[in-house]
Amino acid sequence: MGAAALNFRASFFAAPHRVMFLGGAVQALLAMAFWSLQIGGHYAGLWSLPVWPLLTQIPMTTWHALLMGSGVFPWFVFGFILTAGPRWQGAGDLRQTEFLPPFLFLAGGWMLVWLALALPVLLGFGLTLAAIGWALVARILTRIALIPALGREHIRYVALAAWLGVVALACYGLLAINGDALWGRLGTTLTLWGFLLPVFATVAHRMLPFFTSAAIRGYEVHRPAWALRVLVAAGLGHGLLSLFDFARWLWPADLAALVASGHLSRIWWHRAIGANRMVLVLHLAFAWVPVAFALFALQGLLEPGALGQAPLHALAIGFFSSMLIGMVSRVTLGHSGRPVAADASIWASFCMMQLAAVLRVLGELPLPGPGAILLWLSAMAWLLGFGVWALAYAPALWRARADGKPG
C-alpha cells in the first residue's frame, strides 16, 4: 500500500465526523441529483425519464422522504453527535472500533437501497443493514446518556430520538415487504417528528448559545428548558395527530411550537451577530422554525392542505438543511485545524439553501404561474448549494489536520 493510501486511511478513519460526513455528502448529492431529475421530468415535464421498477411499487414521494429523512440527514447528525456527545458528558473520544461498524453497516445498507431502484427485492435487505448501523449508533448514544454527569437532558433526547429513527427504518422495511402505504406513512412521520425535529432542536438548544458566546464578548447564554420541552412535545403531538388524521386539531400543537421556537430565536439574538457570518448562519437557520410552525398553524386554521407542503419544507429545507450547513461547516473547520470562520463557500452554500427554501415554499402556495418549475428550481438550488459546500470542504474529511494534531 502506497504512502498516499496510508495517509488517506489514517486521516479518514481518525474520527467519527470524517466518515459520517463524507457518507452524508455522497448521499446528499446522489439523492438531490436524482430528485432534481425526477421533479424536472415527472412534474415539470422538462424531459422523459426511465421507469424505475421500485417506483412502480412505492410512491415517489415516499422514496424521496426515505432518502432525505433517513438516508441524508442522519449521516450528519451521527457525525456531529458521535463527536460532540461524549464531550457533552465529559467522556473521551470514541474509538475506531466503536464508530466504524455503524458506518460500514450504513454504507452497505444504502448502497443496496440505491440498487433496489432496479432490483426492488434488495430494498428490504438494504434497509435492514442501515437499521443495524443506526441501532449501533443509538446504543452508543444510550451508553453516553447513562454516564453520571450534570445536564444529561440534551443527550437523552438525542438518544431516544435515535431509537425512534430505528423504528422508522423498520417501518420502511415493512413497506418493502408488503407494500402497504401505511408503513411508509408511519416511517416518514416517525423520522420527521420523532427523530429529525427533536435532534435538530436539541442540538440547536445546546450549541447555538454556546457558539454565539464563544464569538461575541459579553454574550449571555440562555437555555430555557421549558422552550425545548414544549418544542419537542409539540412536534411529537403534531406527528401523532397527523398520523391519525386529526388535521383540524394540529393548530394548538403548532401554536405551542411557534411560541417556544419564537421565544428561543428572540432571546438568542444579539445585535453583534450580524458581523459574524459563522454564527449568523446558525441564527438565521433557526429562525425558520417559527416561520415553519406559523405556516403549519395557519394551514390548520384555514383548511387542511391549503398550503400544501410549504410548512414542511420551510422546516426541512429552511431549518434542517440550513442548520446542517452551519453545524457541519463548524465541525469540519474546527476538527481540520483551520480557522472557524464562514468563508465565501459557506456563505454561498447557505444563501443557496435560503433560495431553495423560499422557492419550495412559494411553489406550494396557490399563486399564479407554473408551480412545478419552482419546485424544480428549488431542488436545483439545494443541489448547487450543497455542491458548493462539498467541493470546498469534503476534501478536509480525508486529509490530515492542517495543525498536525490527531483527529
**CATH of residue 87:** 1.20.210.10
pLDDT digits (tens, 9 = 90+) for 32-44: 999 999 999 988 7
Q: Is 402 within a domain?
A: no
pLDDT digits (tens, 9 = 90+) for 114-133: 999 999 999 999 999 999 99
pLDDT digits (tens, 9 = 90+) for 207-228: 999 999 999 999 999 999 999 9
pLDDT surpassing 60 at residue 1: no
Q: Over the chain, what is the mean pLDDT?
A: 94
Q: Give CB contacts under 8 A, 24+ apart, made by 275-278.
A: 276/215, 276/216, 276/342, 277/341, 277/342, 277/346, 277/347, 278/211, 278/215, 278/326, 278/329, 278/330, 278/340, 278/341, 278/342, 278/346
Task: Give the domain range for residue 342.
Answer: 19-48+60-397
- The cell numbers describing 191, all together, are 423520522
Q: Is 139 within a domain?
A: yes
Domain count, the chain: 1
Q: Is 165 within a domain?
A: yes
Determine the average pLDDT of the residues in 244-264. Answer: 95
Q: Is 9 within a domain?
A: no
Q: Is 53 within a domain?
A: no
| Global pTM value | 0.96
When pLDDT is cut at 50, 70 and 90, the band that residue 371 belongs to is confident
Q: Is 54 within a domain?
A: no
Q: Is 147 within a domain?
A: yes
Question: Is 187 in contact with 166 (CB distance < 8 Å)?
Answer: no
pLDDT surpassing 90 at residue 92: no
Q: Is 334 within a domain?
A: yes
